[in-house]
Amino acid sequence: MTQPLISVENLSIKFHTDEGLITAVDKISFDIAPGEVLGLVGESGSGKSVTAKALMQLNSSNTVYTDDSRITLQTDDGTIDILELKKAKELNLIRGGAISMIFQEPMASFAPAITVGKQMVEQLMLHSSMTKKEAREHAIDMLDRVGISDAARRFDQHAFEFSGGMRQRAMIAMALSTKPKLLIADEPTTALDVTIQAQVIDLMKDLVEEFGMAILFITHDLGVIAQTADRVAVMYLGELVETGSVRQVIREPAHPYTQGLLNALPKLEKLDEPLTPVPGDIPSPLERPSGCVFHTRCSQFIEGTCDASIPSVTALADGHAAACFVVDQAVRGKTEVPA
């Protein structure tokens, strides 16, 4: 197997809050290979954004990463231990360089008082050896590539002068212009209407193929994941409950939570039937359930087991795994020879 581009091992993220220390992410591990698109899916509050931000150390100052949390990135100059980076200078080389991020709300990526072009040029000059003139040409070319017409004129405008869809495209152009090894896309299409959403997804796919970059694609929409990702990681209350290829997770979901998310999707042939969302709400991180964190909402809950101990990860097939007692018992039932 090729060496992963980025490895997340035992990542735990806690926040100091007025109510005490809360756990937002609990010992998660995953890898992303070079050029791979990993979809990270889960309901609101499951910890997707804080995980993504950890990859660039972008979480707020009240964040605690536990001592055994490790995030390693492979670069041309060797392995970088991201959570060990302390100096702003070191971090700025990663941010927008090896790793770029696009956000749900594109305004967050642009400084309001500076033109889009100037920001793109500044970022390019920081992360490459381009001259100002070369950076300008490259930035205009990137704006043109993402489908912004009259790119040379738009280059001198501010983000607030762009329409929503255009801002999203400009943000993608800026994020991709430095040819990052990893692009983090945190719900990049949620705020867009469906037609523009499809265009943006197609655009990202084309550019990824051309630049060979890996993507961490975050969404709560499994439909979008099916269109974009190679592999999927399903997150619930700060834990990874199931991982596998898109085909494995969508065709043969093993974890009851993944099954619930898939059942909640509207089905074209049954548009008249009411949708069946996963029952209940995701608990607050202040009230993490004992045992399996999903047991309070699980239709297959086994009393005395699921509420008592934490399930370990069960391997199902090549690259497909789930953390669930029900899955584990089913697998054991199949493999254990009766006495």
Ligand X SMILES: Nc1ncnc2c1ncn2[C@@H]1O[C@H](COP(=O)(O)OP(=O)(O)OP(=O)(O)O)[C@@H](O)[C@H]1O
Among Mg ion, ligand X, none, the one that 46 touches (CB under a kind-dependent 5 to 8 A) is: ligand X
Of 11, 30, 38, 46, the one binding ligand X (CB under 6 A) is 46
Quick check: 42 binds ligand X (CB under 6 A)?
Answer: yes
Number of residues that bind ligand X (CB under 6 A): 16
50 versus 292: smaller Cβ distance to Mg ion: 50
| Window of 41-49, 66-74, 105-113, 156-164 that interacts with ligand X by CB under 6 A | 41-49
Quick check: 44 binds ligand X (CB under 6 A)?
Answer: yes
Quick check: 100 binds Mg ion (CB under 5 A)?
Answer: no
Report the 3 state secondary structure along the chain.
CCCCCEEEEEEEEEEEECCEEEEEEEEEEEEECCCCEEEEECCCCCCHHHHHHHCCCCCCCCEEECCCCEEEEEECCEEEEHHHCCCHHHHHHHECCCEEEECCCHHHHCCCCCCHHHHHHHHHHHHCCCCHHHHHHHHHHHHHHCCCCCHHHHCCCCHHHCCHHHHHHHHHHHHHHCCCCEEEEECCCCCCCHHHHHHHHHHHHHHHHHHCCEEEEEECCHHHHHHHCCEEEEEECCEEEEEEEHHHHHHCCCCHHHHHHHHCCCCHHHCCCCCCCCCCCCCCHHHCCCCCCCHHHCCCCCCCCCCCCCCCEEEEECCEEEECHHHHHHHHHHHCCCC
44 versus 149: smaller Cβ distance to ligand X: 44
> What's the min distance (Å) between Cβ of 59 and ligand X?
7
49 versus 178: smaller Cβ distance to Mg ion: 49
Quick check: 17 binds ligand X (CB under 6 A)?
Answer: yes
Among ligand X, Mg ion, none, the one that 42 touches (CB under a kind-dependent 5 to 8 A) is: ligand X
Quick check: 290 binds ligand X (CB under 6 A)?
Answer: no
The span from the CA of 107 to the CA of 170, in Å, is 10
Per CB under 6 A, contacts with ligand X among 202-241 are 220
Of 12, 46, 49, 189, the one binding Mg ion (CB under 5 A) is 49
42 versus 291: smaller Cβ distance to ligand X: 42
49 versus 258: smaller Cβ distance to Mg ion: 49
| Window of 17-25, 94-102, 132-140, 305-313 that interacts with ligand X by CB under 6 A | 17-25
Query: Where does this chain bind ligand X (CB under 6 A)?
Result: 15, 17, 22, 24, 42, 44-50, 60, 62, 220, 285
Residues that bind Mg ion (CB under 5 A): 49
